[in-house]
Amino acid sequence: MTSSSRGPRGTGHVDPQRPQRIVEAALEVIVERGVARTTHRAIAERGGVPLGSVTYHFASLDDVLWAAFSQVADRVSSRFEQTMSDHVDGDPREGVTAIITEFVTQHQDDLLLSFELYVLAARDVRFRRLMEKWQHTARGIFAAHFDVVTARMVDALLEGLLVHAALSTEPVDPGFIAAAVARIAG
């Protein structure tokens, strides 16, 4: 075997998807256990990779978390943007209502991951920067449809309604969501 066919540490195995599999495994572990109980070992087991592979591709657990939460922020922001563009010819308030309703009824894992990031960001300035970037992205998406102040209010409403929906034992009421959005963005 030539050295060019060897992997990063000369194992002979090249797996260009391994870092992404590690990130996906980290997200699954975070959903199941929370950030506080996420470990390199749990990620390796979930991803079906050697423990050393996790530490080879990511210098620290924080680096794995950063990559994982960055992907969540990008995925959710893309979903927001798509939903708002689906309502570009109609009432943008319907787009916001759809975003909130879909988030709490169809994307439970992303909802849990968002809360994990909120807690992490409250305690760690590095992750606070990621959370702020995500918030600015959301506000920018909304600012394409509303004035800047309303866009910020819509973002705050969205985050507040997500918290309420996630922590409530009652089912989500899309009518209430639509009414709240109409009051803020009326």
* CATH fourth-level superfamily of 69-186: Tetracycline Repressor, domain 2 (1.10.357.10)
pLDDT tens, residue by residue, 91-118: 999 999 999 999 988 999 999 999 999 9
DSSP string, 53-105: HHHHH-SSHHHHHHHHHHHHHHHHHHHHHHHHHHTTTS-HHHHHHHHHHHHHH
Which whole number is the average pLDDT over 81-95? Answer: 93
Dig out the tokens for 179 from the structure.
Answer: 């009414």
Confidence of residue 15 (pLDDT cuts 50, 70, 90): confident
Residues of the chain with CATH 1.10.10.60: 1-58
Question: What sign does the CA torsion over 10, 68, 126, 76 have?
Answer: positive
What does the alpha-carbon distance between residue 113 and residue 58 come to, in Å, rounded to a whole number? 20
What global pTM score does this model have?
0.86
The closest of 91, 114, 130 to 166, measured between CA atoms, is: 114
Q: Between 41 and 167, whose confidence is greater?
A: 41
What does the alpha-carbon distance between residue 123 and residue 21 come to, in Å, rounded to a whole number? 27
Q: In the predicted model, what is the mean pLDDT of the chain?
A: 91
Which whole number is the average pLDDT over 142-152? Answer: 96
Which DSSP state fits 144?
A: T
Say yes or no to pLDDT of 14 above 80.
no
Q: Between 123 and 7, whose confidence is greater?
A: 123
Which whole number is the average pLDDT over 148-163? Answer: 94
For 1-58, the fitting CATH number among 1.10.10.60, 2.60.40.10, 2.40.10.340, 3.40.50.150 is 1.10.10.60
Check residue 12 and give its pLDDT: 41
Residues of the chain with CATH 1.10.357.10: 69-186
